[in-house]
Amino acid sequence: MNRTLTFASRNTKEITRDPLTLIFGVAFPLVLLLLLSAINRAIPDGHGPQNFQIQNLAPGITVFGLSFLSLFSSMLIAKDRTTSFVLRLFTSPLRPAEFILGYTLPLLPMALIQTLICYLAALPLGLKASADLLVAVVVNLPIAVVFIALGLLFGTVLNEKAVGGVCGALLTNLSAWFSNIWFDTSMVGGAFETVANILPFSHAVKAAQAAAAGSYAAIFPDLWVVIAYAAVLTVAASVVFAVKLKKM
């Protein structure tokens, strides 16, 4: 475990060397939160979309903000693959699962801080302050692992330039469209709604909204779906990483 923590410490330093990226990961969701809240206030009472009500919007924005973690993790591992650093890793006693854990651990505190900042910013906008928000912060951890694992998976098989497009543009857009944040996917229906229900993003938003509202019984089974995705994707990232190492 000590060697994993040492590797995680190194990755923390690599991530914090680019503060502008970290700031963007927090600032952009906050801008969206303020903008959509302003739009909702400009609409006469009772006529605005339910998704833009602050009690629904804030948890949704916290989930969307975590999608940037996939970009951080993918860029980190893709950069390591293109340098001699990965060759030195290959000679270390770390197992593939320990590598993936070492890349994941530094990003989890970032996920917690990012989510907490979003909720704090939502309080002046009308979100009710309660201990339920702390539960909602913890509920976001599984979806954070999903995004991190996706980033590690793509970063293992794609180069540094490609992961910027896949994780920085494609994945963030997919998580937005299929998450029930901006609109209710049931209004679209058909194949679109089916895909949204299969993917973990809308389940993560529903679980976060239930937690923030104090409806603990409603957190599940949506959270189980997210946890299952997190477990499968983390294992997949470890396996693919192991295969890549053997080919080097």
Q: What is the pLDDT of residues 205-226, one digit of tens each?
A: 999 999 999 999 999 999 999 9
Report residue 224: phi and psi, to 5°. -60, -40
With bands split at pLDDT 50, 70 and 90, how would you rate the model's confidence at 82? confident
Q: Pinpoint the alpha helices (H) of 67-189.
A: 68-81, 85-90, 96-104, 107-122, 132-139, 141-157, 160-165, 171-177, 185-188
pLDDT for 133-155, tens place per residue?
999 999 999 999 999 999 999 99
